Amino acid sequence: MSTTTSVSSTPSTNAELMARRRAALPAGLGQTHEIFVQHADNAEVWDVEGQRYLDFAGGISVLNSGHRHPAVVAAVQAQLAHYTHTCFQVLAYEPYVALAEKLNARAPGAAAEGEQRIHWKSFFMTTGAEAVENAIKIARAATGRPGVIAFGGGFHGRTLMGLALTGKVSPYKKSFGPFPAEVYHAPFPSPRHGVSIEDSLYAIEHLFKADIEPSRVAAILLEPVQGEGGFHIAPIEWVQRLRQICDQHGILLIADEVQTCAGRTGRWLACEHWYEHAGIAPDLITMAKSMAGGMPISAVLGRSALMDAPAPGGLGGTYAGNPLA
Ligand SMILES: Cc1ncc(COP(=O)(O)O)c(C=O)c1O
């Protein structure tokens, strides 16, 4: 029997590894830099040739706390000594519940008194796209309606529903359709692109006239700050008007905070700014990326009455909310 040498034990140059990558991997997996990492620490990365870099990418907004933060490494190591996987729906574990409690307590309105208090519930998936998919599932189950309105330039993941919601054809949606039905797009306000708040709201009213009646719309989905779309901040006056439209028609407002969560806008969640400045909160929130400092986990948070709409078994996944993450 012939023996094979472990490929990873052979020192290589970036150019050699790029050649192997091209031969072994499909072209659809883009590569921004022709560099292969050897190790990383906090904000620094060293490639296989020993070259040192400052990492401004952070794994696409995943490493707000840097590479291998000591607290993250210690938590993963401690967990490894106990159990790595059980599938939460089959055999539950306390840290899952503790994390949900922690996130629920930090969501907008959770600490308010009396009728103002919002009771949040959360559960976990693995990727941002899965969190978005599940927020839509919950919105549809809770409202009994099919429609979703998203925005031009928005990015919501690479699954088919994520792509349906994404408002950018090239390179994400090109050649992958057809996508799930009942998804509509309106323009996101952007002075840079000459789109005013009124333009965006007019487009939504137009959708209600031309494409779908508001009573069939389950949710309006937006990023508090568009990431892939070019870093456009959702103006607070626009979010207030969206909240009004939602309240008027029984539509749910979903904040996709996959990229904006974990302190990226100066608050744990970007929608905390909405709550502080205008007293408004979304109905559902998605989180992922930096919430776990480099470990793969995502979350869906929602007002408790909505979160209980799907029947038992309707939510979850084999690895969703993995203990190591
Ligand atoms: C706002 C937003 N939603 C969803 C996603 C998809 O997340 P993932 O790549 O983890 O599936 C992204 C990823 O960039 C994102 O920025």
Does 186 share its domain with 261?
A: yes
Centroid of ligand 1 to alpha carbon of 238 (angstroms): 23
| 287: containing domain | 94-307
Q: Which atom of ligand 1 has the smallest separation from the CA of 260?
A: 1
Contact 14, 47 (CB under 8 A): yes
In this structure, is residue 84 part of a structural domain?
Answer: no
CA 160, CA 152: separation in Å to the nearest integer?
A: 17
Does 128 share its domain with 201?
A: yes
Q: Which long-range contacts (CB under 8 A, 24 or more apart) does 170-176 make?
A: 171/30
In this structure, is residue 87 part of a structural domain?
Answer: no
CA 32, CA 70: separation in Å to the nearest integer?
A: 28
* φ, ψ dihedrals at 33, nearest 5°: -125, 140
Centroid of ligand 1 to alpha carbon of 156 (angstroms): 5
Pocket of ligand 1 (CB under 6 A): 60, 127-129, 132, 155-157, 223, 227-228, 256, 258-259, 288
CA 268, CA 307: separation in Å to the nearest integer?
A: 21
Centroid of ligand 1 to alpha carbon of 162 (angstroms): 9
Q: Which atom of ligand 1 has the smallest separation from the CA of 257?
A: 1
Does 52 share its domain with 98?
A: no
Does 43 share its domain with 171?
A: no
In this structure, is residue 73 part of a structural domain?
Answer: no
In this structure, is residue 119 part of a structural domain?
Answer: yes
Centroid of ligand 1 to alpha carbon of 132 (angstroms): 8
In this structure, is residue 75 part of a structural domain?
Answer: no
Q: Is 92 left (phi over 0), alpha (psi -120 to 50) or beta?
A: beta
Does 177 share its domain with 36?
A: no
Centroid of ligand 1 to alpha carbon of 62 (angstroms): 10
The helix or strand, by DSSP H or E, that contains position 164, with its residue range, turns out to be helix 160-165
In this structure, is residue 325 part of a structural domain?
Answer: no
Q: For ligand 1, pick from 148, 156, 160, 168 the residue to mutate: most ligand atoms within 8 Å of CB.
A: 156
Centroid of ligand 1 to alpha carbon of 2 (angstroms): 43
Q: For ligand 1, pick from 32, 166, 231, 258 the residue to mutate: most ligand atoms within 8 Å of CB.
A: 258
Nearest CA to ligand 1 atom 6: 157
CA 132, CA 215: separation in Å to the nearest integer?
A: 22
Does 44 share its domain with 121?
A: no
Q: Which atom of ligand 1 has the smallest separation from the CA of 227?
A: 16
Nearest CA to ligand 1 atom 4: 156
Nearest CA to ligand 1 atom 16: 259
* Structural domain count, the chain: 2
In this structure, is residue 41 part of a structural domain?
Answer: yes
pLDDT of 11: 72
CA 64, CA 79: separation in Å to the nearest integer?
A: 22
Centroid of ligand 1 to alpha carbon of 143 (angstroms): 25
CA 10, CA 7: separation in Å to the nearest integer?
A: 6
**What are the residue ranges in the chain where pLDDT is below 50?**
1-7
Centroid of ligand 1 to alpha carbon of 43 (angstroms): 22
Q: Which atom of ligand 1 has the smallest separation from the CA of 129?
A: 11
DSSP-assigned letter for residue 260: T
Q: Which atom of ligand 1 has the smallest separation from the CA of 132?
A: 4
Centroid of ligand 1 to alpha carbon of 318 (angstroms): 20
Of 162, 107, 43, 32, nearest to 282 (Cα)?
A: 107
Does 29 share its domain with 161?
A: no
Of 236, 239, 194, nearest to 220 (Cα)?
A: 239
In this structure, is residue 212 part of a structural domain?
Answer: yes
Secondary structure of 27-76 in the HEC alphabet? CCCCCCCCCCEEEEEECEEEECCCCEEECCCHHHHCCCCCECCHHHHHHH
Does 111 share its domain with 227?
A: yes
pLDDT of 2: 39
Does 141 share its domain with 44?
A: no
pLDDT of 212: 98
Contact 183, 146 (CB under 8 A): no
The domain that contains 261 carries what CATH number?
Answer: 3.40.640.10
Nearest CA to ligand 1 atom 7: 128
pLDDT of 8: 54
Handedness of CA 162, 176, 167, 147 (dihedral sign): negative
pLDDT of 5: 39
Centroid of ligand 1 to alpha carbon of 4 (angstroms): 38
Does 27 share its domain with 102?
A: no
Grouping H, G, I as helix, E, B as strand and the rest as coil, residue 119 is coil
Does 134 share its domain with 227?
A: yes
Does 172 share its domain with 115?
A: yes
